[in-house]
Structure 1
Amino acid sequence: MDPGTALRFPAGSLVLVAGLPGAGKSTMLDRLYGLSGEETRPVRAGGARVIDSRQSRNRWARLLRPLPTRARTPLVHATHVWRIARAVLGGHSVVAHTRGTWPHILRGFAWLVRRRGGRMYLVLIDVDPETARAGQFARGRTVTAATFARHTRRWGPLIERGRAGSVPPADGVTVLDRDAADRLEAILFVPSRPPPQRNPANQRTTSAVPDRFEPRWREPP
């Protein structure tokens, strides 16, 4: 799918940018939001909280440097997930990096964002495993062959559902190939607007306010 130069979502949504390790998730976020890769905390940009897993890894880097990677990863991952959850529960629009291959993580995020009356969307960067593996070597940071194989097995069914247009529990999914990801210039959060109120000339104006208003959002083409 090629959405053009911008993706638009309702304000207050959680947008998860997912893909295999090395697919280019961080590269795209760097370009869209001017990230340096040296940040240690989520960044406020474009009306959203931008959360990359590198921020958590950088946060713990000095303290955990003596430990092997296998020992550092659980704490880094837990910090990243906690930061996304905190931003969602704060009612913010959120763009976050995720590998996207853990179904329980997706279900948990969807539950949290709906508690706040928001929605969760996936942006899947669709590259083949060979390209993603090459991307790991190009950035100078690789995962083990066994770990990458596990991600690849989980990613296959996920991207197939994405190409078909539905990835429960997400409310919507956009699949970007490498070229479409490179052409993307913005991820925008647009406030929902109430439908216009009709007031025929022969109808008296009233100050009554409806008990409940349900905003309607039309998915972007």
Structure 2
Amino acid sequence: MNRTTAYATSSGLALTKQPVAPAPQACAEMPAPVVRDLRDRGGRSPHALLFGPRDLVVITGLPGSGKSTLMRRAVRGPRIDSQDTRDRWDRRMPRFLPYGLYRPFVRLAHYAGLRSALRSGEGVVVHDCGTQAWVRGWLAREARRRDGILHLLLLDVDPDEALAGQRERGRGVSRYAFRRHRTANTRLLRAVTEGTLPAGCTSAILLDRAAADTLRRIAFTG
């Protein structure tokens, strides 16, 4: 039986585990949704988050909130980040070519890489911008198919701080796109805070910038 560890102490010891129901019983006996709020702890939050060997983890938040930085620093195991895909394409393309012209190909490459990673059956951490709800639906179906669990890591970062993060990395999104991200993120944050998770998600962990900076390891057991 696949068991999920959705929260760990600073030393990396698991505190809670949630059993996954066998496939025939999944609809009736899936674990109740769990929300863990690690915000406002002044850095006294876990250094490690551990998940089951077949679980899927979605990291979401505003552009510039630090998702890619967190993934590069903390993820131990397969990770699929759309920013990595864009960076690879940017290195190949002529500098004079606007990103908008080859953006569709970047997205296709990103989703092809995600599909390949999911087919391995291993645990995967996935970057999610928060505006593509169909991606979470896809991951939720895949988690059920592999007898795993879908977890949400939500970075709650102030919009001004996220914009500063975009300026720091020298790359941002348009005002229109940022408004769309902000609306979707605000709606998701409100729902999760009230205990309502996106369809297919079994657990959600809320992180502020301090909690994200404290986190050093995101890994899969087994």
Q: TM-score, normalised by structure 2?
A: 0.74
Asked whether the 8 Å contact 1:89–1:113 carries over to 2, the reply is no
* Contiguous gaps of at least 5 residues in structure 2: 1-36, 39-44
Counterpart residue type for residue 172 of structure 2? T
Superimposed CA distance per residue, residues 142-192 of structure 1 (whole angstroms, 9 cap, x where no aligned partner) = 11111111111111111112222332221211110111111112112123x
Secondary structure of the corresponding residue to residue 78 of structure 2? strand
CA 1:166 to 1:190, structure 2 compared with 1: closer, same or farther past 3 Å?
Answer: farther
User: Are residue 106 (structure 1) and residue 136 (structure 2) matched?
Assistant: yes
Match of 1:32 among 74, 85, 94: 74
Counterpart residue type for residue 184 of structure 1? L
1:73 Cα shift?
2.0
Aligned to 2:84: 55
Alignment: residue pair count: 178
Identical-residue share of aligned pairs (%): 38
Counterpart residue type for residue 165 of structure 1? G
Question: Aligned runs of 1:173-192 on 2, under 5 Å?
Answer: 173-191=204-222
Secondary structure of the corresponding residue to residue 174 of structure 1? strand
Asked whether the 8 Å contact 1:85–1:109 carries over to 2, the reply is no
Q: TM-score, normalised by structure 1?
A: 0.74
Superimposed CA distance per residue, residues 24-46 of structure 1 (whole angstroms, 9 cap, x where no aligned partner) = 0111122225xxxxxxxxxxxx3
Compare 12-21 and 56-65 and name the one that shifted more: 56-65
Runs of at least 4 residues off by over 6 Å:
none
Determine the C-alpha separation between the residues in 2 that align with 1:140 and 1:130: 15
Aligned to 1:13: 55
Counterpart residue type for residue 14 of structure 1? L
Determine the C-alpha separation between the residues in 2 that align with 1:143 and 1:8: 32
1:70 Cα shift?
1.9
User: Are residue 76 (structure 1) and residue 118 (structure 2) matched?
Assistant: no
* Contiguous gaps of at least 5 residues in structure 1: 34-45, 192-221
Compare 113-122 and 127-136 and name the one that shifted more: 113-122
Compare 87-96 and 55-64 and name the one that shifted more: 55-64
Determine the C-alpha separation between the residues in 1 that align with 2:208 and 2:176: 25
Secondary structure of the corresponding residue to residue 122 of structure 1? strand
